Structure 1
């Protein structure tokens, strides 16, 4: 073989080997992106702070919404379900705000890397609503790039959307602000009312006060149509729907209710069972 021919052959072989080495790495990266589990945006961690690792357990299970109850105590926002459980070390800032800010920094501007959709942080106020909200607003202002913001009629999306629930007195100071980093959790009484989605992006209510069915037997058709009508009305106004106090013990009744919620288009499915809802949603390939 001539020298020039040998050189050409070696060059061709080298290029082929380089490609063989490079392709698996490229394929692996593409495969990682392709197979990275999607966030479960419809999964809502009810009373999230009661899990062993508040926030972090829900994020490990890819939940799109978490709930924290807060009490205003001596200028601090403490996280607990009942006053007897209050602990000065368990603050909204230490359990939620700081960890979320750190995660967003690490993930280049989002809670779930590669997904720009905001995580919902539902903050349930347990003390007097007006004063507690004003303190909450001061806390949220410390994280100016973390939260979805309403500013002079425009909604500017951020990595996290804070929605205020609980004591209804919070609505007055919140609605009066021209710039705020929180939104309001409406009730079915607000459905179809004058308040826009820029104030009330979420409609939540108690399942047991509005439906008799708890997953045993057939879902009454009148109640199915009522549920779907609620969702249609909310979605037409750009609002999302959440219903709490649904069955949450593992079994056919819970699965039946969750199936109807998904079929109706309910946006957030409530649970204390993170692994159970994750498996349920994954089995149905729904976000």
Structure 2
């Protein structure tokens, strides 16, 4: 919406009655709360919050008085009908998570999906998101990325997931907690060795915001040297330097196929290593697998 001078002005929740607003809230720095988000929360009839106590503190800080009810992982399927009833009555509802953009590894998917199916308007009020904030400042490729949310809590599940990323193109991003980040990076090292470049964004937008860069081994050394680096919430980003994607693998296989027509496996792998920069042992195993598939 624009004013008479053509400047953007905050969206009013009265513009469209019976709508659900997906409102992003700060992930740390309260100055990241947009005017449009603040005005929307002031004007809606209800706010659906992941944790009403947490959201009440945010609202109190900005002097917003609102009717709150909870929507979280354990009740959101049941709450979808309640929200639909409110919208049918012409009420406006805002959905917020504890921090950042709702539905990004936070509750809300079932509610939004159900309301869309019923034909209700669902409108985004964009703002802070740890995923995007960390990625854009990481120095890793951003033209393609894959977001994995939170990874499994147990090592076996993590390692299996990390193995499945070996053919993933672009930068892989996941969230991790202070309690598991050391173990997760240890598993990254198990699966990738030095073949992944990592950037860890810690406490994004908060007082102790830190970006740690290096291989998994280098990141673990940083943790060992300074236990304070283990504190906080983490966005973990990986960019693969080996086995990094389908295009690279296809090109390597194409070169090996040509060389194997005239050379033994060992010599073909050695020559391919010189041509591609890949590790000879990796290429030797690939060549053996290619021959076994024939």
TM > 0.5: no
TM-score in terms of structure 1 length: 0.28
